[in-house]
Amino acid sequence: MKRRDLFRMIGAVAGSSAMYQAMTSLGLAADSQYAGPIKLQGAPKGTKVIVLGAGWAGLVSALELRDAGYTVELLEYNNRVGGRAWTIRGGDTITELGGETQKCGFDPGLYLNPGPWRIPYHHRGYLDYAKRFGVALEPFIMVNYNAYVHSDAYFGGKPQRFREVQADFHGHVAELLAKAARQDKLDQAVSKDDQETLLEALKEWGALDKNHAYVAGHDSAERRGYAVNKGGGLMPDPVGGPPIALADLLRSDVWRALTFGQTHQWQSTIFQPVGGMDSTPKAIGKSLADITTLNAKVTAIHQDDHGVTVSYVDARTGKDQRQAKADWCVCTLPLTVLSQLDVQVGAEMKAGMNALSYFTAVKTGLQFKRRFWEEDDHIYGGITFTDLPIRQIAYPNFGYNAPGKGVLLGTFAGAAPGFELAALSAADRVKLAVEQGARIHPQYTAEFETGVSVSWHRSPTTMGCAAAWTPELRAKHYRNLAELNGRVILAGDHLSNLVAWQEGAILSALDAITRLHHRIVAA
């Protein structure tokens, strides 16, 4: 075996912590620092704050500032609140840059979350607001051992069960390490007294036989499943299936999916709101309806020593120019949008706004006549991974075993595949999702009914999925973007260490309005 292959194996086994540390350094993963509801006291009477954007950061800012005694006005580009925390249902329309408009044809009760779709247990800010506004949560199945891992070029293009790949990979690695231990190759790392314990642990972890070999049999079948399942009465005896060869596991790269549920932000328990990801923002937004203006497309933000003036037009027509005036402004607009506006802020903040690009992401929702993934493939929730451009197929985490139709997430692609898909029309993205998904689930062809696709780079309100920070960009621009600039302060998940998470937007908003409040009170 080549050394680079061994290193790749070790990376897959021990890479979850290493991956998590790397993601933390880039601001992509961390525990939430939420410490409970903030208390803003002593708000000067009659002080007005205008909040731009009614995504999570804007909603939290408007809610907490209003409750603290400020006069608040909230402007939102969309005809709804929630920002990227969005749920698409039957009858909804989606218009992308370029003008292509889709009308969702999903049946009642079915939906797609094109933006965020899961909530880790340690995102305490989100969980607190959901509890405060009475939003029910349900489990999100992150890892389903009966879902598939698919390599188009290996195994004849046939998808492999996640449990088979994991069991075989662990078994082969355990066998290799057991051989090294038995040949006294680990003397410097493991004492003689511990080697027998290590061998026993490897035998248990990798489902090895008495000779510390990974082979077809009862032990391996208990991990990877049976070719002939257990039965009753005079049914045939169970038979363990043959393991996938180590060389095929390595060359196909299917092992890369194994750490997906092990990194900190994906560890159980994961939640989703009952009925769609927009449930919590809608509940908060309802309480702010009297101070919210929807379909308000901001065109300029000007400030002087006395206040802030925001110019905006009707987003549906581009006309009806209006102005909103306030003493202070909390701006939660994506930097991709904000950098194109007439914004009166300092040179360093402008440089930061212009420097940061955004990740891409494409999601496609597909409605089928029946829930064949449950009826035929026995997959209830979870995710299938593939090296095809669609990248992931995710199964609904509600309505298990129910008769009737269902909606799958048929595409979740970022990076290069995301940009390639974004270059297609929405109709072609749906078509491609069906064609490629049929290589994993042949039932697609006969069962597909309708679909919608969202490319975040083609969304006029975001022009991207999430801020693409690098350590160098963060060191140069992050603080300049987060500091109060005159009478304007920015907030959003892009100004957090939890980029692309709702929790990041919540924490950023709470930090920004707390600092703004202290500045106002001090003045």
| Domains in the chain with CATH codes | 31-76+279-356+469-522 (3.50.50.60), 88-146+268-276+361-458 (3.90.660.10), 162-252 (1.20.1440.240)
Please list the alpha-helical segments (H only) found in 118-261.
124-132, 162-182, 192-206, 218-224, 246-252
Question: Quick one: DSSP state of residue 485?
Answer: B
d(CA 178, CA 195): 9
Query: What pLDDT score does 30 carry?
Result: 53
CA torsion 298→277→149→165, rounded to 10°?
A: 130
d(CA 48, CA 326): 5
Q: Are the CB atoms for 147 and 379 separated by under 8 Å? A: yes
Query: Ramachandran region of residue 496, left (φ > 0), alpha (ψ -120 to 50) or beta?
Result: beta
CB neighbours (10 Å) of residue 86? 24
Q: Are the CB atoms for 514 and 45 separated by under 8 Å? A: no
Please give the single-letter amino acid code of residue 13. V
Query: What pLDDT score does 14 carry?
Result: 46
d(CA 304, CA 429): 47
CA-nearest of 337, 273, 299 to 129 is 273
Q: Is 136 helix (H, G, I), strand (E, B) or coil?
A: coil
Residue 104: CB partners within 8 Å, gap ≥ 6? 88, 89, 90, 91, 92, 93, 94, 112, 450, 452
CB neighbours (10 Å) of residue 390? 27
Mapping DSSP onto H, E and C, the string for 239-290 reads EECCCCCHHHHHHHCHHHHHHCCCCHHHCCCEEEECCCCCHHHHHHHHHCHH
Q: Are the CB atoms for 123 and 32 separated by under 8 Å? A: yes
CA-nearest of 302, 294, 417, 321 to 364 is 417
CA-nearest of 490, 493, 503, 253 to 359 is 493
- Between the CA of residue 191 and those of 181, 187, 188, 198, 208, what are the distances in Å? 10, 6, 7, 10, 22
Residue with tokens 């208990």: 222
CA-nearest of 195, 197, 194, 220 to 209 is 220
Helix (H), strand (E) at residue 420 = helix 415-422
Half-sphere exposure of 161 (CA within 13 A, CB side): 18
* Angle ∠(127,129,130) on CA atoms, nearest 5: 60
Q: What is the pTM of this model?
A: 0.89
Residue 513: CB partners within 8 Å, gap ≥ 6? 38, 40, 60, 61, 64, 65, 330, 489, 491
Low-confidence ranges of the chain (pLDDT < 70): 1-30, 186-188
Residue 274: CB partners within 8 Å, gap ≥ 6? 135, 136, 137, 138, 398
Q: Are the CB atoms for 430 and 364 separated by under 8 Å? A: yes
Question: Quick one: DSSP state of residue 374?
Answer: H
Half-sphere exposure of 485 (CA within 13 A, CB side): 23
Query: What pLDDT score does 27 carry?
Result: 41
d(CA 45, CA 15): 54
Helix then strand then coil, % of the chain, to nearest 5? 40, 20, 40
Q: What tokens does 15 get? A: 């890479």
Query: What pLDDT score does 257 carry?
Result: 87
